[in-house]
Chains A and B, each alone.
Chain A
Amino acid sequence: MNKSVLLPAAVLLAVYGLWDGAVLLSHSDIFPRPYQVFLGIAELMQRGLLLKYVVASLFRVSIGFTLAVLIGVPVGLLLGWFRPAFLAFNPLIQILRPISPIAWIPIAILWFHVDDRAPIFLIFLSSVFPITVTSIAAVQNIQPVYVRAAENFGLTRLELFRRVIFPACLPQIITSLRISLGIAWLVVVAAEMIAVNSGLGYLIIDARNAGKRYDLVVAGMLMIGLIGLILDLLIRRLERFEEVKWGYSDRN
């Protein structure tokens, strides 16, 4: 076995041991031992809750994130390209951007009540600003030589946009998708704790409230971590397309 498997495995084993030892030494009857967490996961699977909640969370993230991409990328590219539009809208974006999606929860509930639309709205908000802002910056920082070289060939505005501006910005856009998908996954959990009655966030808060089932709380946390990792690995694959590899340093 090579080091890239052996070393992380050793760390995970050590964490497992320390965790188990700490619970045993402290004689806690609330905080779960690691094996109890795995039993908790098994119990959730048996009751059919795990798959249901994972699907519910993933569904909300997919919809909210997709909406954010569909709106954020084109709006960002247009604002980056048309200077007057940028001047007009940038202050508004800069004011809305620092507001945590969590702060929107009361308004989301007011508008959408306790159904799927509330967390979807919050996920959309969490993703749309980083995507828009990065897309704007990508267009504004495009290498002038690409635009000049393209103008040589008598392209129309639309062709210039499609054949040069968009592909030149794509590596940065993909990076922003990766970052904002990570944020969306953070936000869905928070949103589900308050605005709905399903999903991994709801699982955690419900397990705590209904009987202090901390084994299920930690089981939910573990699932959130694992699925977040899988999402990141999946979206990283976008960076491996030949058309965008040039935009990332030599690590590819």
Chain B
Amino acid sequence: MNESAISARDLEISFPGKRRAGPIHVLRSINLEVRRGEFVCIVGPSGCGKTTLLNVITGFIRQSSGEVLVQGSPVTGPDPKRIFVFQDNGVFPWLTVEQNIGFGLARRSRDEQREIVHRYVQMVGLTGFEKAYPRELSGGMRQRVEIARALAANPQIIYMDEPFGALDFITRLKMRADLTRIWQEEKKTILFVTHDIEESVQLADRVVVMSQRPGTIRKQIEIDLPRPRDLDSPEYLEVRDEIFHTMGMSLKVGAA
């Protein structure tokens, strides 16, 4: 059995630039393996191509060279086995919470739909809001709807592109804790893009650190800390600082 959920080999992306300047290299020699059930975060400075990398893996953008295998075969298009969770709200405003969560279940029986929707409403803590419309919810609650909608479709892989980027600090912390718990219950493979180093260390089994453009993988750091993670423990801080240093940043505000 192939244990690799996602496997990118020698991936290069370049976009045609202006005539003189030649093509713009966005990603260079990316080699990435994601094991099944693994939670991997990709961090990097803004503009490093991490969202582009995610878009190539999901098949929204074609690579210039190299190959991407997802669950052993090349990606040809969207597939309900792999669901994408967006930063800007992809929840449908014309559907209620439960209709949104059940969106990917049209082919199931009524009873199954009801049962699955009920389970995920509970899991993301939206009990009592089943009949509410997205505009009546806070940003964090809407993001919970989107995550529940992804989970309800029972995908093997969930891609997340800065899904908590638009939320306030407290809500983000809560969402991370909930996502960790849900991931432990559901055992999905998650590939999570963020620019937030703290976030990556709180969530991931492994953090992939990318360089400035053209984006390359600078370092991959396994995080073997028990969950829920103690954000004050020396081990946590050590990993966090390692990533900061890898990205060439100082932890002292104002330092050059």
Q: Could you tell me which A residues sit within 8 Å of B by CB distance? A: 145-146, 148-154, 159, 163-164, 167-168, 170, 242-247
Q: Which residue of A lies closest to B150 (CB)?
A: A152
Q: Could you tell me which B residues sit within 8 Å of A by CB distance? A: 60, 77-80, 82-84, 86, 88-96, 103-104, 106, 133-135, 146, 150, 153
B134–A246 CB distance below 8 A = yes
B94–A246 CB distance below 8 A = yes
Q: Which residue of B lies closest to A241 (CB)?
A: B94
Q: How far is the CB of A2 from chain B (nearest CB, A)?
A: 28
Q: A242-B133, A246-B135 are in contact. Are A148 and B90 (CB under 8 A)?
A: yes
**What is the bound-complex CA distance between A146 and B95, given in angstroms?**
12
**What is the bound-complex CA distance between A244 and B94, given in angstroms?**
6
Q: Which residue of A lies closest to B133 (CB)?
A: A242
Q: 9 closest pairs, A vs B, by CB?
A: A149-B90, A246-B93, A153-B104, A167-B94, A154-B80, A151-B78, A243-B94, A145-B90, A246-B135
A149–B92 CB distance below 8 A = yes
**What is the bound-complex CA distance between A150 and B93, given in angstroms?**
13
> Quick one: which of B79, B86, B135 contacts A149, CB cutoff 8 A?
B86
> Quick one: which of B60, B79, B94 contacts A170, CB cutoff 8 A?
B94
Q: A145-B86, A145-B89 are in contact. Are A168 and B94 (CB under 8 A)?
A: yes
B94–A152 CB distance below 8 A = no
Q: Which residue of A lies closest to B131 (CB)?
A: A242
Q: How far is the CB of B234 from chain A (nearest CB, A)?
A: 41
A153–B153 CB distance below 8 A = yes
Q: Which residue of A lies closest to B87 (CB)?
A: A145
Q: How far is the CB of B252 from chain A (nearest CB, A)?
A: 38
A153–B92 CB distance below 8 A = no
A146–B90 CB distance below 8 A = yes
